[in-house]
Amino acid sequence: MKSLRFDTANLLCGLLFIALGLFFIIQSLSLELGTAFRMGPGYFPLVLAAVLTLLGVVILIQSVRVTGDAIGALAWRGMLFILPAPIVFGLLVRGAGFVPALFVAAFIASFASERLRVPAALALATGITFFSVLVFSYGLGLPFERFGPWFRF
């Protein structure tokens, strides 16, 4: 009889997604759900958590069916640059505004790639910032300050 083999990376990822999804499902149930046409504050988090849980189940099933490679080394460079980027954005957005905070966060995160140099990182951060302002400020009309009090004279 064959022994059951798992893809360890997918097994761990699936279990993590399921655990996080269930946690957020429980948390969102404490909020008012509303209906699909008149969503309450808990509706969208509940839907996202359900999708996350379902994705975890699919990944978990896939881990049994396919044997993958062993888990490799951690991408330390990626974690060093990508994880601080949203923190920097959060620290800057109130004082500097959306545009500078997003630019700095995108610039920092772009160095997760070893191949990206400073001119390309500046171009990438500029493009992301320009696109985000178009979408969120002009397209969706979200009421946020593009430039905060630090830039007022």
Specify the pLDDT at position 3.
61
Residues 81 and 24 in one domain: no
- The answer to whether residue 1 is domain-embedded is no
Residues 60 and 101 in one domain: no
Name the domain count of the chain: 2
Question: Is residue 136 very low, low, confident or very high in pLDDT (cuts 50, 70, 90)?
Answer: confident
Last residue of a domain, one of 65, 86, 110: 65
Instruction: Find the distance separating the first CA and the last CA of the chain, reported in whole Å.
Output: 77
Is the Cβ–Cβ distance between 106 and 85 less than 8 Å? yes
Residues 139 and 83 in one domain: yes
What lies within 8 Å, CB to CB, of 152 at 6+ separation is none
User: Residues 86-101: what's their mean pLDDT?
Assistant: 93
Residues 91 and 39 in one domain: no
Residues 92 and 121 in one domain: yes
Specify the pLDDT at position 67.
63
- The answer to whether residue 3 is domain-embedded is no
Lowest-pLDDT choice from 18-27, 48-57, 68-77, 96-105: 68-77
Burial class (CB in 10 A: 0-12, 13-18, 19+), 20: middle
Last residue of a domain, one of 46, 65, 84: 65
Residues 52 and 115 in one domain: no
Q: Measured between alpha carbons, how far is 53 from 30 in angstroms, rounded to an integer?
A: 18
Residues 103 and 38 in one domain: no
Torsion, Cα 28 31 37 38, to 10 degrees, reads: -160
Question: Is residue 4 very low, low, confident or very high in pLDDT (cuts 50, 70, 90)?
Answer: low
Question: C-alpha angle 149/140/44, rounded to 5°?
Answer: 105
Q: Which amino acid type is present at position 142? A: L
DSSP H helices, the chain, are 8-28, 43-65, 76-82, 84-96, 98-110, 118-132
Specify the pLDDT at position 115.
87
User: Residues 76-104: what's their mean pLDDT?
Assistant: 91
Lowest-pLDDT choice from 22-26, 67-71, 77-81, 126-130: 67-71
Residues 61 and 118 in one domain: no
Residues 57 and 82 in one domain: no
Specify the pLDDT at position 68.
57
Residues 110 and 134 in one domain: yes
- The answer to whether residue 89 is domain-embedded is yes
What is the share, in percent, of the chain residues with pLDDT greater than 90?
Answer: 51
Residues 92 and 145 in one domain: yes
Residues 56 and 37 in one domain: yes
Specify the pLDDT at position 104.
96
- The answer to whether residue 105 is domain-embedded is yes
User: Residues 60-74: what's their mean pLDDT?
Assistant: 72
| Structural domain harbouring 30 | 8-65
Neighbours of 11 (CB within 10 A): 16
